[in-house]
Structure 1
Amino acid sequence: MSLLRIENLSFSIAGRALLENAALTIDPGRKIGLIGRNGAGKSTLLKLILGIHTMDGGTIRLANRARMGSVAQEAPAGDVTPIEVVLAADAERSALLAEAEHAAPERLGEIHDRLITIDADSAAARAGAILAGLGFDDRAQNQPMSSFSGGWRMRVALAAALFAAPDLLLLDEPTNHLDLEATLWLETWLARFGGAVLMVSHDRDLLDRAVDSIAHLDRGKITLTPGGFAEFVRIRTERAEQQNRAAAKIAEQRAHMQSYVDRFRAKASKARQAQSRLKALAKMPMIDTIVEDSPTRFNFPEPKELSPPLLSLDRVSLGYGERVVLSGVSLRIDMEDRIALLGANGNGKSTLAKALAGRLEPMSGSSFRTRGITVGYFAQHQEDDLHLDDTPLLHLARVLPNATPTQVRAQAARFGLDAARVETKVGQLSGGEKARLLLALATRDAPQVLILDEPTNHLDIDAREALVRALTDFPGAVILVTHDTHLIDLVADRLMLVSGGKVEAYDDDLDAYRRLITQKTAGGGERKSAPQTREDRRARAEAREATAPLRKRGRDAEKAIKALEAEKRQLEAKLADAAFYARAKSEEITAIQLRLGVIGAEIEAAEGVWLEVEAALEAAG
């Protein structure tokens, strides 16, 4: 028997259909990842299931006596503590304990029996374990909620939802307020949870480790695919290829029939056959080819190359006022370094990031920054500094006072902020669009070093992949603070652990770190030894260094192609202008025509170089 059944669900906002006759069935214990582009309606679907929105049509049926849970939009503040908030999420236990305080003796026995049945004695320990997994130590669990930031209060709200252990748990981007350590813990908790889960997420690794099916919401319909995200991609790719082949075959048959009709429909002797072909043509199925939406692309400005080291810290202490957060920090950053910082929130990752960005002076020790260096710094909290009534164009124009309007728009376009979105007020942008604006602001001066603190929050899967590609192509140094293990795996060559007031190289891999955090095996496969892992990272770094000239050659070719095509358009526009011929001399016209011929050859040569580079990079892995 199904736990939740959705049939013919329809819902529209402002005349735009988000869901059209959508259907989904969730069986007990099933764990489903809900994916789709930003704005597809994923969060809306969860709100429809919870009854927050009213559907236009269709049915949503939850099994009798089934309990449904979700994360509260706002966690309580005030003097109540995290452990008290989480324990209160077990409504039955709380009600029984309250009743026991004034129950009649004959009822008291029933209450205690029920408390034993629901394992009430272990509730505090279970609640504490969940809070600990999400980053709250014993002291923090008993502090007033008013002492925590909004992000930490949302962790408490998540802990309460997990502790309640409903039959169906609805989660909407649960890792957005988590660090890497809490995310790794959540992966394991969800994999072991006995109830059903419907989870909106753009975290590829979480979708591969914690769910058994993928529900894809696209153009108002929901398609369910067994397996995690990697399996979804494989199946979707195969289906697309099959559908494209079928569409091509039918198109060929239609063209053949249409050709016959066109040739013979006017001939009396062939009229009947032509009419027959027309009827057959009308009955042939229309199969759309799978045309992917325009791929999301990010493009970091290319920095000026500087002599190494770009910056360094030598036995530095960092902190605020008289409080030391990190001590004895020694670190060197060179061009093309790729470093991910590990460590639970509160251990000093952001403090180190601020010091590297030049926003925090060392308390002791020495630091060095090469002449002319620019550092781009991205942090989610910077979203609070955006002016909601201003447009992205105005934000960028303020920080690029010497840039032309075209140059300002070009910087926005590097991160997918097109002509429409760049003129939209920030208050009306989605979280993903604000993140793109922050990336555009952080990289406006073509920095040699990029420091990215949780850059993937609010970005959908396509945008995250675009960020991976852009960082791979970026010739400068990258420092990552992120809970996105997929981003770390594909971008970082070095891992550094920030813990206990120290910053040290971490020579093992993320699977080992996951085991360190959860104290249980996660991810499967044989564990690599530290020397093997260190050798792997060294090999990746050496490969990146070896291919750097090749990638630079490719970028130069791409720039040349763009410049040549722009010149070609300008010259062709001149030749297409009738007024030009009235004032131009024949020598000038001939020169333009000759130049167009040369440009064509130069574009062809540059394209050949670019293709050669791409082939070489692909062969190099």
Structure 2
Amino acid sequence: MIQIQAISFRRGTKHLLQDASATLFAGHRAALIGRNGCGKSSLFALIRGELEVDEGEVLVPSQWRIVSVAQETPATSRSAIDYVIDGDRHLRQLQTELAVAEKAEQGDEIAHLHAELAQAGAYDVEARAATILDGLGFSQQQLTHPVSDFSGGWRMRLNLAQALLCPSDLLLLDEPTNHLDLDAVIWLEKWLQRYEGTLLLISHDKAFIDQTANHIISVEQQSLVTYTGNYSSYEKQRAERLRLQDIEYQKQQQKIDHLNSFITRFKAKASKAKQAQSRIKQLEKMEALMPAHQDSSFRFGFSAPASLPSPLVGLEDIALGYGEHRVLEEVKLNLVPGSRIGLLGRNGQGKSTLIKLLAGELAPQLGSFTLSQGCTLGYFAQHQLETLDPEASPLLHLQRLDKKATEQDLRNYLGGFDFHGDAALAPVAPMSGGEKARLVLAILVYQKPNLLLLDEPTNHLDLEMRHALTLALQTFEGAMVLVSHDRFLLGAVCEEFYLVDQQKVAPFKGDLDDYKSWILSKQTPSTVTHDSLSSTDTGPKENRKEQKRLEAEKRKLLHPFKQLLSQAESQMDKLNLALADIENRLADNSLYLDENKTELTGIIAKRAELSQSLEEVEMAWMEAQEALDNAEADFDATS
């Protein structure tokens, strides 16, 4: 087992861990969690013996084989599969010794080495390597391509494949899903569930941790706190512990009220669709777990867009590709305010290509692409991190956008993205990937978009920032298209899923569990189309066109009713906040002294006035909800 005994460790002048202890038993699968910069990767380096503690001890059995993912990949001419096998240095050493023995015709040594190679798995290593590479998204043809042909993200997948192939007693994985898409993440989960050694992983993907970990080691206030169970269990345990301590619990009531309202609204309109029901369950769970995130440093949300034209975007018979290579054909999609679409599909099928079209980075080869005049685009993709001015500060980036805003207002805004004090004035160049991603999101949110295009927005973000982003997206009033390997985010904010497969983009009727089953079973697209896709894939072309027209017409019809609901909910939030302030004032015992009688009378009268207003707004909300339901039912009946 691994024993971390009362260690203290600092980097520069910053204390990362102080008198921290934890134990990880053989065979356990633990996730190491905590905000970016708290010392998780440094703890990995301590376990590997690359760093030394200031105080205490980190004890790892000397006979354990420790394997982690290399962070650098040389631009070698070695083929992908050979490079992966090279990671098993013991096996490669035995193969070298065998070649020497065969050249010297040493019969006994040759027999001995063959026995050792068999024990090391040499005779099926290529098959095992090919299986791993296939699971991580490499095609059969790519196995023989030189490493130098692959981009940085794909080289990181090769490094991950190396680590998975090597025999190990302790496997250390630092953000293994960062360069993977959803189908590769699902495959990696299944692989890790079968892993027989001890696993310690750093991840900010809740769903991934839930599927792979049975213990959580949380970095909290420079200490290590161990929880039994997966991430969902950790949230419950931590929430209960914080409830008992009542640490700043009241600060979260406003967010819980908002979430309650969101859940109620969604429940009222939800059909019996499986994905709708699973989303309701997820949102209800989030409410109970809010206290587990109450000490988060992130506070932000999307302001109402200046306008919400409908439709925002229209795609008709679009063909997309690069040169002669056609990626997508016959794409039809209308985006109206309230559209919340998650794109699913295997790597390379065209999800990011579709996003690039919507963002104006790629022109259609065929078809009609209509962008509303009032469309304000908010586009997030990983390459945008490199477009930041390396010499400018977060504050200067925003000042360039809004020259009229005061410095204090902009600093207050940046504080919601955890750029406090000097961090708001520091240059971008030395920032981590997570800090750059937060700044790009801060810039995006500040511009009040009415169309959001998010291509893997959670890469490099820690758990608390992902949680804050999820809450913010739930209140976004415009249209959204999301590509992500984070299933928690997809399930919490998307109301529709589209499958991008075999050059087509079609509605996916199932939920994310159905998609996971499809990926793992490697169903043929025709089978999935029959069971899981809309009938638009099997009907005549005219039927598909008619169904798309009806869907767009329905969204347009229901939009005014949804706006009324949104306005009522906003008023309810304000009134509830004002009433909470009144109740806090009434809890002050000094208010009931004789000399404060006049003030008390005024406060009581104000409470009655606010309560009456709240009752009226709630009634208006119920009427708006009933009108929405009736309009939806009438439309369905007539169409």
TM bucket (normalised to shorter chain) is: 0.7 to 0.9
CA offset at residue 547 of structure 1? 5.7
Q: 1:70 to 1:422 in 2, by over 3 A?
A: same
Query: Paired residue for 1:22?
Result: 20
Q: Deviations over 1:429-476 (max 9, x none)?
A: 333321121112223432111001111112221211111111110111
How far residue 29 of structure 1 moved from its aligned partner, in angstroms, is 1.3
Match of 1:555 among 560, 563, 570: 570
Q: Deviations along 1:279-323, whole A, 9 cap, x unmatched?
A: xxxxxxxxxx99952552221231134332111111111122343
Map 1:352-391 onto structure 2 (within 5 A): 352-391=354-393
2:455 pairs with one of 453, 468, 474: 453
5 Å matches for 1:459-470? 459-470=461-472
Residue equivalent to 2:496:
494
Say which SS state the counterpart of residue 315 (structure 1) adopts. Answer: strand
Q: Which amino acid aligns with 1:6?
A: I
Alignment length (residue pairs): 528
Indicate the SS of the match to 1:508: coil
Query: In 1, are the aligned partners of 2:79 and 2:147 still within 8 Å (CA)?
Result: yes
Please give the per-residue CA displacement for 1:576-601, whole angstroms capped at 9, x wherever unaligned: xxxxxxxxxxxxxxxxxxxxx99x96
Contact (CA 8 Å) 2:497, 2:508: kept in 1 or not? Answer: yes
Of 479-488 and 137-146, more deviation after overlay is shown by 137-146
> 2:334 corresponds to which letter in structure 1?
R
Identity %: 39
Where does residue 590 of structure 1 map in the other structure?
none
- CA change 1:424–1:603 in 2 (3 A) is farther
Partner of 1:52: 50
Aligned-partner Cα distance in 1 for 2:158–2:560: 44
Q: Give the equivalent residue in structure 1 for 2:519.
A: 517
**Deviates further, 342-351 or 471-480:** 342-351
Residue of structure 1 equivalent to 2:32: 34
Residues 561 and 603 in structure 1, CA contact (< 8 A), matched pair in contact too: no
Q: Deviations over 1:31-56 (max 9, x none)?
A: 00111122221111111111222211
CA shift in 2, pair 1:515/1:410, >3 Å: same
1:46-73 deviation line (CA, Å, top 9, x unaligned): 1111122221122122213210010001
The whole-number CA distance in structure 2 between the counterparts of 1:506 and 1:328 is 17
Quick check: 1:65 aligned with 2:63? yes
- Residue equivalent to 1:7: 5
Contact residue 341 and residue 349 of structure 1 kept, 8 A: yes
CA distance in 2, matches of 1:468, 1:211: 22
Q: 1:382 to 1:22 in 2, by over 3 A?
A: same
1:146 matched to which residue of 2?
148
Letter in 2 for 1:59: E
The Cα shift of 1:346 comes to 2.1
Q: After superposition, where does 1:331-350 map in structure 2 within 5 Å?
A: 331-350=333-352
Shift of 1:404: 5.3
- Given that 1:31 and 1:213 are in contact with CA atoms closer than 8 Å, whether structure 2 keeps it comes out as yes
SS at match of 1:24: strand
Q: Is the 8 A contact 1:558 1:610 kept in 2?
A: no
Aligned to 2:433: 431
Output the CA distance in 2 between the equivalents of 1:495 and 1:77: 38
Cα distance in 2 for residues equivalent to 1:299 and 1:100: 63
Question: Are residues 1:171 and 2:173 paired?
Answer: yes
What is residue 284 of structure 2 aligned with on the other side? none
1:263 — aligned with what?
Answer: none
**Residue 114 (structure 1) aligns with:** 116
Name the TM-score, length of structure 2 as normaliser: 0.76
Query: Residues 545 and 490 of structure 1: is their aligned pair in 2 closer, same or farther, counting only changes over 3 Å?
Result: farther
Q: Is the contact made by 1:311 and 1:369 (CA closer than 8 Å) also made in structure 2?
A: yes
- What does the per-residue CA deviation read over 1:166-218, in whole Å, with 9 as the maximum and x for residues that have no partner? 10001111111111111111111111111111111111111111011111111
How do residues 53-132 of structure 1 correspond to structure 2 at under 5 angstroms?
Answer: 53-103=51-101, 104-132=106-134
CA RMSD in angstroms, aligned pairs only:
3.5
In structure 2, the residue corresponding to 1:63 is in which secondary structure? coil
Amino acid at match of 2:570: R
- Residues 400 and 458 of structure 1: CA distance in aligned 2, closer, same or farther (over 3 Å): same
Conserved 8 A contact 1:297-1:463: no
C-alpha distance in structure 2 between counterparts of 1:604 and 1:109, whole Å: 93
Look up the match of 1:255. none
Q: Is contact 2:343-2:481 (8 Å) kept?
A: yes
- What amino acid does structure 2 have at the position aligned with 1:52? E
Unaligned runs of 5+ in 2: 248-290, 524-530, 537-550, 579-601, 626-639
Q: Deviations over 1:108-147 (max 9, x none)?
A: 0011111222322111111111111111011112111111
Q: Is the 8 A contact 1:349 1:481 kept in 2?
A: yes
| Aligned counterparts of 1:491 and 1:340: Cα–Cα separation in 2 | 9
CA distance in 2, matches of 1:373, 1:224: 48
User: 1: CA distance between counterparts of 2:446 and 2:118?
Assistant: 61
CA contact (8 A) 2:297 2:418 kept: no
* Cα distance change on mapping 1:409 and 1:243 into 2, 3 Å: closer
Rg: which structure is higher? 1
Change (3 A) 1:559 1:401: farther
- Measure the CA separation in 1 of the matches of 2:387 and 2:165: 35
CA contact (8 A) 2:297 2:416 kept: no
Q: Does the aligned pair in 1 maintain the 2:136–2:157 contact within 8 Å?
A: yes
Match of 1:478 in 2: 480
